[in-house]
Amino acid sequence: MLQQQNPYLLLKSLYPNMHRVEKKIADFILSNKNDVISMTIAQIAKQCDIAESSIVRFSKTLGYSGFSEFKLNLASHSSHWDTKIFENINPDDSTTSIINKVFTVNIATLQNTLNMLNAKLVDQAIEAIDRSNKIIFFGIGSSAPIANDFYYRFMRIGLPAHVATDPHIGILSSSLLDENSVAIAISHKGRSVETVETLRIAKEKKATTICITSFLNSPMTEYADIVLCASSTETEILNEAISSRIAHITILDCIYSGIALKRKDTTLPHIKNMHKLLDQHRIK
């Protein structure tokens, strides 16, 4: 069973799309994690120079019944949140230090994504794909290789998979979808104009829309029936958030594995046949 949602990870994921007052509250909580759990709502409001009602609304926006429940969750997760784990790579770091930092960030991102991931949503994605007549992956830029990889993997087990990593082809392809189709869009920040547009058109065509992203409430999520969110870890040098890409791949791996098991009677023969065909092109 997945752990309860970590409120600190939730704050990080929602932060880019918060308005000014919400960011002020989030900044205070993230900067004073050891103190905030013992503070009253009045004390926090005074420190942030905002109304107490803003903190109540903020708590409810995050999905809590109120500030008391939010604070209880902060307290229960405070010992598991350490911002020092996400150290930046420095120009004078040794190779050993770089290796340790990169592996630490990647492992932490996967663990945090595991803690965030909603198994019911993954199951909904598996069910939608299983009953679809067409599956298409959308992704541009650094998300394109992920889209291509999973198109290839889904196709190998006999699924009607397609991929569009060119923006124009993506828009045209999404316009040809229908209620029996599934559109899977991949975008780290969920703000790529072309990817958002392909998902909007897919939803307009009544396809089931799924997005893989690192930020909740990003523009792309507005058009997604199923939002699967990875933990986001960005550093000054590794600003492409490679660790988040690894998390995206792992989320899709979960879906792929679920589909493969659900269709095991047809999946295994497909895999054996593919291996046999590909073996002819390998050096003995």
Mean pLDDT of 103-124: 90
At 213, give phi and psi (nearest 5°): -145, 180
Q: Which helix (H) or strand (E) holds 161?
A: strand 161-164
CATH assignment of 116-278, given 3.40.50.720, 1.20.58.340, 3.40.50.10490, 3.30.360.10?
A: 3.40.50.10490
Mean pLDDT of 162-185: 97
Percent of the chain predicted with pLDDT > 90: 55
pLDDT averaged over every residue in the chain: 87
In the sheet that holds 134-138, the strands lie side by side as 161-164, 134-138, 181-186, 208-213, 226-229
Question: Higher-confidence residue: 83 or 27?
Answer: 27
Question: Higher-confidence residue: 257 or 235?
Answer: 257
CATH assignment of 7-80, given 1.10.10.10, 3.40.47.10, 1.25.40.10, 1.20.140.10?
A: 1.10.10.10
- pLDDT attached to residue 87: 59
Mean pLDDT of 206-232: 93
Tokens (6 digits) for 269: 């023969």
State the Cα–Cα distance between residues 55 and 48, nearest whole angstrom: 10
Mean pLDDT of 84-103: 78
State the Cα–Cα distance between residues 83 and 176, nearest whole angstrom: 45
Mean pLDDT of 98-127: 90
Mean pLDDT of 265-275: 80
- pLDDT attached to residue 80: 55
Tokens (6 digits) for 212: 């893989």
